[in-house]
Structure 1
C-alpha cells in the first residue's frame, strides 16, 4: 500500500528572485531556499515548491487557490497590492461579472483569479456560505 508521510504541490517559475519578491514580499508568505527553488509556506501551514525552469510556460489553469472568508475584501487587498484580476470571457458555464469574478448564487461560492510574475494562475475563493445551496 502506498503510504506517504506528507504531500505538497509544485509549479515552475521563470525567475526565482521575482517569485521570492512576489510570494515573500508582495504576499508576505514565508519563503525558504530549497534545491535551487523556493519552499513557500502558505496560510494554513501547507507548503508549495516553486522551481526554476528556463523554458517555463505558465499553466493554462489555476495552480494555487487561497481560501478567504470575504471574497470582496480579498479582492480589495489584492488590488491594493498593485495586482490585477484576470478577466476571462463570460460563458453560460462560467458567468463572470465585469470585474472577472465568478459567483454561484446557489452555493454562495465565489472565485477571482490573478497571476504571479511567471504568469501562473492563482485564485482567491470562498467556500459555500453556511446554509447556502446544496450540501
Structure 2
C-alpha cells in the first residue's frame, strides 16, 4: 500500500520564465522558485496546496483542463483578464457554445465556466461559484 504524508500535482511548460510571469503577474498567484528541487516553480494556491511547474523541452499542451479557478463573478474576472491580454477560448459546437467573451452559461448540466490557455498552451478555467 502506498504510504505518504503529502501529495502534489504538477504540469509541464516549454518556458519556465514565461510561466512565472504569466501565473505570477498576469493571474496574480504566488509563484516562486523551488529551493529543494532546482529548475522547478511552485505555484502556491493556498497554505497546503502547492503545484509544481516544470520545464519540458518537448512539452505538448494538455488537451484537458489542468487547473480550475473558482470565482464569484465570472463576467468581471473575464473582463479583467482580457484587459491583461488573456484570450478566452470560444467554443461554437452545436451543443457546446460559449458567448463572445468565451463564457459558457451554466444550466442543469453544469456551472458557468470560461476556458483560456497559459503561454504553454495548457488549458485553464474560471468557474463561477457564488
TM-score range, shorter chain: 0.7 to 0.9
C-alpha separation in 2, matches of 1:120 and 1:77: 20
Aligned equivalent of 1:96, options 81, 95, 98: 98
Contact 2:106 2:113 in 1 (8 A): no
Matched with 1:68 is 71
Confirm whether residue 5 of structure 1 aligns to residue 8 of structure 2.
no
- Residues 1:28 and 1:100: Cα distance change in structure 2 (over 3 Å): closer
**Residue 43 (structure 1) shift:** 5.2
Contact 2:90 2:97 in 1 (8 A): no
Aligned equivalent of 2:56, options 47, 53, 56: 53
Which 10-residue stretch deviates more, 1-10 or 49-58?
1-10
Matched with 2:29 is 29
Unpaired segments of 5 or more residues in structure 1? 130-135
C-alpha separation in 2, matches of 1:4 and 1:15: 31
| TM-score of the pair, normalised by structure 1 | 0.82
**Residue 83 (structure 1) shift:** 0.9
How many residues are matched? Answer: 127
- Residues 1:108 and 1:119: Cα distance change in structure 2 (over 3 Å): closer
For residues 28-74 of structure 1, give each alpha carbon's deviation from its aligned partner in whole angstroms, at most 9, with x where no partner exists: 21112122110011257521111000000101111011000111111
C-alpha separation in 2, matches of 1:43 and 1:74: 19
Contact 1:39 1:48 in 2 (8 A): yes
Unpaired segments of 5 or more residues in structure 2? none
